[in-house]
Structure 1
Amino acid sequence: MKYLSIFALFVALFSSAQGQYRGTVRLVKNGVSLSNFSSGIVQIYYGPSGSYMTSWGNICDDSSFDYNEANVICNQLGYDGVSTYGRAGNTTSYGTDAAATIVDDVDCFSSSYLTLQQCSLSTDIKSSCISDSEDVYVSCYTTRIWENPYPGQIRLQGGTYTSFGRLEVYCNGQWGTVCDDSFDATDARAACRQLGYSDYTPYVSGNFAGPSSQPIWLNNVTCSSTSNCLATCESCPATQYHNCGHNRDVVLGCEFDDFYIFSSNTLRTCQYATLPDRGTVRLIRNGVFLSTYSSGIVQIYYGSSSSTASRWGNICYDTSFASTEANVICNQLGYNGVSTYGGAGSTTSYGTDAAATILDDVNCASSSYLTLQQCSLSTVIKSSCVSNSEDVYVSCYTTRIWNNPYPGQIRLQGGNYSSYGRLEVYCNGQWGTVCDDTFGPTDARVACRQLGYSDYDSYFTDNILAGSSSQPIWLDNVFCFSSYNCLANCQMCPSSQSSRCEHSQDVIIRCRYGYGTASSNTLSTCQYADSRIDIGAIIGGVIAAFVICCVLIISIPICICCCLGVGIEAATRGGNKTKNVVTGAATMDTKTEVVTVSNA
């Protein structure tokens, strides 16, 4: 481990207030602060930029302070959002706090920010904020943000404040620690950025060692200076690390530093570089996976018949596996069909894959299916499939299925796997993003169905995967019904991009195999219909109008012109549907029946 200066180490080890760093927040009741308080008057340890003259002080409840700001404070304290908030003068629950007001004009763009550093704030205090009655109080929900963790989430434990403690990471369903081997300043800064701070304070090891029952998940962490997530430096391993003791657990402090770029992370930002979702496929060469591979031995993240836990495993190359099944795998990986395929034993190009075979009897009714979930398969493995030489390999065409896109086509971009990424839609001749305004579970599920999955795992916004500034934001306020299978059903391509959203609000989705009805979509299911005027419809409308008017002419002579006009107008409108959506596979020659997936 690369130690810092003697002075820095002294501060970290012997400071009587562990975690009392610039930007730390705490809650006070009747002048007392305890680390387990979930409600109270808010104090922040702060001072002018570039000054070491920091002190505890209050935050002014002015016109800019609202739900967003209160929620961010609770996030920073490690609680799962705010329940109530307001002005200290409006309650007697927390007594009077005599500390001076030192922060004003707090304004947070997002309630999902992790710290107040990600918001704008001022140390110039207005005269209206001097009174202690103007101090901010919050009451947070008592559940912690790490009680429903995602793989790759981190936290600091054991310190007096949430800005200091033992660095822990959530992997394989359990919180564990990080070994100090090669852990340095760059790694410390990446971890603090993940937590919403811009910089680290001294990091040490051992004085808050994890219990012996706790796994050590990460070792020899290597981050780049641009890393904002520890998960981008090292992914969750399959097993814990045994060549390191808990006396070498990394202990870390984080702080606000105006000289470094502020973290743009939110509550769910850093989960993308972790374990995939059920049904994800990837290609392996000589035991190595790269997202750019278009050929290799096929692995799928799935569950065996004897276990509900998903894991990476192989697919058996048996009599049911042919070009149709190989083609679907390439479709799922985002490539435009299969070039060659076969059993791994018939080629030396990709080495040997030691993973167990976990899928057998894969049988797809259509080569235009989008995922293997749309096919029948089994997790009961025949004895003839045990050998790794029976594993499936594919070589896909290197062209992508979105290289020749249709209006309304969607894709996921920027993730490690094809089942995860920034949601993009093709409109007006250009790929663009989707704004998170009103975007909810039903919309996420519909998007995943369009991509051939039955369900979503999560959806959120993520600045790391945000679209480029040159990319349009096409969809906003998306509203889907639960019966839809295409995002194009919910909102059609607009004539111009949305000007109400920023790319920091781009929707990120993770799709997976659920236990619901499998999607019946194929490669071209969700494209918009032809916009040409249907002359036949117009003629039919005229004839229908004439017949109706002939019937009514006896009693209402004047309706002749009226009905003809209405009939022609209605037929013309029907023939000019410029954005009809094809939601079935009526134009496809291939069979598109729904095939139930065998449950693991």
Structure 2
Amino acid sequence: MALGRHLSLRGLCVLLLATVVGGQALEVRLKDGAHHCEGRVEVKHQGEWGTVDDLNWSMEEAAVVCRQLGCGGAIDAPKRAHFGPGIGPIWFRYIYCKGPESAITECSYPPVKDHRPEGNSHDKDAGAVCSGWLRLKDGAHHCEGRLEVKHQGEWGTVNDLNWSIEEAAVVCRQLKCGAAVDAPKGAKFGPGIGPIWFHYIYCKGPESAITECSYPTVKDHRPEGHSHDKDAGAVCSVLEVRLKDGAHHCEGRVEVKYQGEWGTVNDHNWSLEAAAVVCRQLECGAAINASREAHFGPGIGPIWFQYIYCNGTESVLTECSYPPIKDHHAESLSHDGDAGAVCSDLEVRLKDGAHRCEGRVEVKHQGEWGTVNDHNWRLEEAQVVCRQLGCGAATDALRGAHFGPGIGPIWFRYTYCHGLESVLTACTYPVPKDYHPEGLSHDQDAGAVCSTIM
């Protein structure tokens, strides 16, 4: 049973808020998600609902939508029509927000119009997933506490019948809080107030949200004899990660610290995408190899992860998909299958400018210099390049091969930075590879101009 059918009749009941664009009311909603706080972002302009193209779409933009709808914080900013393609106009070709704005009309965007004639399609509709209907309350921090769910505008709790580490793991994953280290029962964080919305929840553990688990009809179960003395809770912890027994700290066997003990990751499904996330989390640059079969020697202790599946853009390993964390020795796994990673701190330079602090952005990967495509290229990304090169602040982020087209690979199809990162590889980006086959050309090489002249 889908939670959205009780929380919002799966997209039919939407929360709307009016803002103003050019003197006209602009309503915003999330459509075709499991509940009214997730879905495809749609805006109403001139009486017609339309969508937002995902160019530049990020957690900052999703955060503003979630805030505008009273749906709490953003926990994901899906792109490429994750919730299905919309219909009608594409009102926004892009939106750029800093994050603290209260409505998307406080952000930067081009004139609101139907952008389909410019070649945009609904295959790139932006979406948002907000945390507003799920939270952990009365713990030491936002990643531990009594589990509470918002239904019909009212916060309530979950009964601890069947509550286990598997259910807590899904809550922690959904809230981007890392791994579950405990699933306390018996109102450990104090009894809640109000309804007990869930009589029980049953999860297998790998689900990305509790709405993918099994549960009865959502309603106030107090009349059935339940009390808040049995409220369920969760304790989450972002896992420490390291690379061990390599030639340096950016290569080696992947090890994870859980419940105070270092263990390993089995290489079932291990890929360059997963290694890329480890390298990014350690700020070790790009992944150049995802070794298997205990290439760096077998580890000792628990095998915490039976497998991990990443798409390569996650910022930490715990944002990927994985089963409940436990010692999998009992499942006949051995350290002969320990996974490893080899990372390379990418060299960065600015080329063909008037001095070394301006020019076309180039990155050295696997011994070869290549360029960065200007998709999503902004002052934030240029700022990180300037900082990494010790060139002061970024004064311009140039696109369209302003400093001339480069040669060789186009290593990055895009990069997304907050602007505060110390190196480019601390930003979000796909696995570095030559993107020429995908139709990109050096006519879109990104450039930067920094304030320091050296």
TM-score exceeds 0.5: no
Which structure has the bigger radius of gyration?
A: 1
TM-score of the superposition, structure 1-length normalised? 0.26
TM-score of the superposition, structure 2-length normalised? 0.31
